[in-house]
Amino acid sequence: MDDGRFPLPPEDASLDDSVLSGMGSCLKGVFITFEGMDGCGKSTQIELLAKALTDHGYVVTVTREPGGTPLGEGIRSMLLDPKHQGMSARAEALLYAAARAHLVEQVIRPALEDGQIVLCDRYIDSSLAYQGFGRGLGTDYIMLVNDWGTQGLYPDVTLFLDLDDSLRSTRMAAVPDRLEAEDESFHQRVAHGFRELLNMQPHRIRRVDATGSAAEVQERVRAIIEQELELFSH
């Protein structure tokens, strides 16, 4: 491959984060994912970025997880419905992975092959943080099922929107869904999980300070996108 995006194999052949970050999706388009705790303002930032990119002439596909397809939205309803409280952690992890596998095959991969920019609200990192750390399933099997489910499709860059707990709680839905209704210790494990992921993959996952107005946060988002992918300078 000579498009300049594919990294040379590292000398010791161990794939470290800087090498993985150079791989991205390896498709014609650009794959950007957004992560964060509930109520961090992801959807607003995705909408603003999608508009800016579209105004710049790009074809943009916006999607979300779990969901983004009729099957995925069906799985989402099952996952978030409080009546399924007590769902087995492994069933939960597999349902998220199933919705993702379908979304990748039906929406994300075709859009990337077509050269589009795909913005996805949550992706594998959410499964690592919520199911791997939050549910205590560990990251190895979560990686395994998701690597298989997505056929190894990873984002070019992931933005982690970081917002203080007290500010997030003011933006939470009045009626909590099944995940939001989990106890404080679960949410603390998830937050710890995201911090670990940021430490483990600093080249791919970039932290965005999500305090301030939507416009201020969007400026930070765009600065990173520009620095990483130079999408606005063409």
Please give the residue whose beta carbon sits closest to ligand TYD in the complex: 130
Please state the closest distance from residue 183 (CB atom) to ligand TYD, in A: 14
Shorter beta-carbon distance to ligand TYD: residue 30 or 128? 128
Residues near ligand TYD (CB under 6 A) are 38, 65-66, 96, 121-122, 126-127, 130-131, 179-180
Shorter beta-carbon distance to ligand TYD: residue 180 or 196? 180
**Which tokens in the block code for residue 26?**
């390896």
Shorter beta-carbon distance to ligand TYD: residue 31 or 130? 130
Count Cβ neighbours within 10 Å for each residue of 184-222 and write b for 16 or more, e otherwise: eebbebbbebbeebbeebeebbbbbebeeeeeebbebbb
CA dist 223 and 234 (Å) reads 15
- In the block, tokens 């769902």 appear at 87
Shorter beta-carbon distance to ligand TYD: residue 58 or 186? 186
Tell me 160's DSSP state. Answer: E
Please state the closest distance from residue 58 (CB atom) to ligand TYD, in A: 23
Q: Give the bridge partners for 35, in sequence order.
A: 160
Please state the closest distance from residue 52 (CB atom) to ligand TYD, in A: 21
